[in-house]
Structure 1
């Protein structure tokens, strides 16, 4: 199917659209609320004996647990969820995050197979069999769910075909099931520094819907052809069955690209040609985005170190690799292709909207930045690239912690909206139109 043709899988595709994409690092993001109670700030009971103190603790537990089904200490999951007195539970409870999967949901999941049934894909006309393709995943060292995989092939004209394969969650999470109802109620997975509250039970997110190597998995696949200059010339989409040939990590891929020879890079040596093609393609995509004025920033993410009891013992800046940019660019390309399809087909969908800052508000922010001694661009209208360059510069300053948020004030918040007109579906930071989140 080409970009302008009929697409029979719309009902399946639309269930996949939602948050959490690699390109979120390029967008202005919301902070965590400050109204969560801090366990260390709670005053002890004023009772003179242990009985009153214990009674107070019991009452607190009762208040924590008195919430609708689906809220409260997790009965099915990592041990940290079972600690009723933890700060994490207080935080999750204050935002009414559902941490317990109802028994009916777990029973539905228990009835699913460990692998897709052959009848799900053998002889199924609409599902392409890609199990023999050179498809692989690249994720962080600690990743447990692998929800997108990639592949690249050289074309005769000097260009490449890039394909992105997303786990077909909708094959298992069907409308009208308790599993679907629970996913709808949760809306998203919640990520804390040392744990995740998943939207779907881990048997799905880390199992049947995880693109683990050497196992058949159902997927949605987007194929995009690019010419030798990196311009997209065509795209197609299909349901598929894939078999990832390798689970790679960002550092492992980066080491291979940097020419490091060790036991880790030796395990993916057979992918070197594919990764070199991806390296060249990614560089061209970055150049195109720069010319269009796209916002491109290096991550300033900080991570925490924990001891065996879950206490924070240190903070460090997360390493960033070109291999992460590679994955970001594949996600951006796939998201754009699917967004273009929906626009061309006239189908309703939810776009990722990032409006441009009001010129007067932007001018006021720039004036304040100048007062703080920052040299600002003398332009009537800033591009995302201009703002990205400012952010990268202030991150090198001693007072970066206070300056970066001020520069980010030049950007509006990105939102999810149903948009009918082209102007409404613009993403200022990425310098794109009708862009959406197809990848997870």
Structure 2
């Protein structure tokens, strides 16, 4: 099967573009040129839209197995394709947890059957994510897992994290951490600040995140482990990571679109669509996150796509689970509110969604190069639309961005040479 993409725009640098064409053959990019005169089984006119490498999201929740009422591998990867993502990494907070060879192999088999885009699964650091017994990291590292994490809960003891890092380092595998010291969370449901005080909800102190990162970077220094920090949310966390990098410690970090675009002042009532963990922090924290991205302290953007059923989210801040969806809204939101406002250049945004996560985790994706897997995303930068949660392909409709006006939309996603999403087929 040969697929020829004609009349596409290539992002050269900053916002400069040039016209090019791409030939896909046997699921790989076989030729790139200004004008390709090639026979093909299918020709797609890109109509002068921007053709980018498929986006990479190293932090999503697919909920399957065990949480299929929230999301499935099929619905979650359909949502990923609609958002322009061709590689996603699925967190292990499922039932059963992928914490032994049998559960990992069963998950990989289900992914192979149902996934619309490439899914790289995490394995758990501890059995059942309970923090009481380490998994067999050496054995699981040979099963095709992406990395190790107990995302959703922090590793509460330094000893367990130290032992996990030693084992992961010996296998050349990363430890990916949700950083939260439970002893100083105090039952909080939103950021401990002016808004929590005003609304009367218990707050989550910033220190609960940053203090665990500070502990872990020192452990990473001793073990030589690649330590990656999930969804950084506080200015203190940024400072700790910046200092650790300056000290030569192998630490990397991600930030979510919602922490870049929203802060605690967005929460004006008891609406759990604004409830996520870590929570929306203070304005100064939001500003520090963008600064950290721009200076390289934070390496890239990941959505932390966390779908929940509508009846669960209807229980308010004190009763609803943490988390919002993000796959289908990430690029339009970031393009509209960071690029179009002049805060960043378009090429930087693209790097944070493609090249940088691939480099950090040594993935052979994130570029448009002859011979690599044909993972491509076509973006109509001029297309304006209103975010409508009813149109989401994800089962999760839990977004704080419903009815936001945005510009820039993925209109075609090709994953490993196959069309995973085409806008006119979903209208």
Report the TM-score, using the length of structure 1 for normalisation.
0.25
Which protein has the larger Cα radius of gyration, Structure 1 or Structure 2? 1
Report the TM-score, using the length of structure 2 for normalisation.
0.25
Q: Which structure features the higher share of helix residues?
A: 1
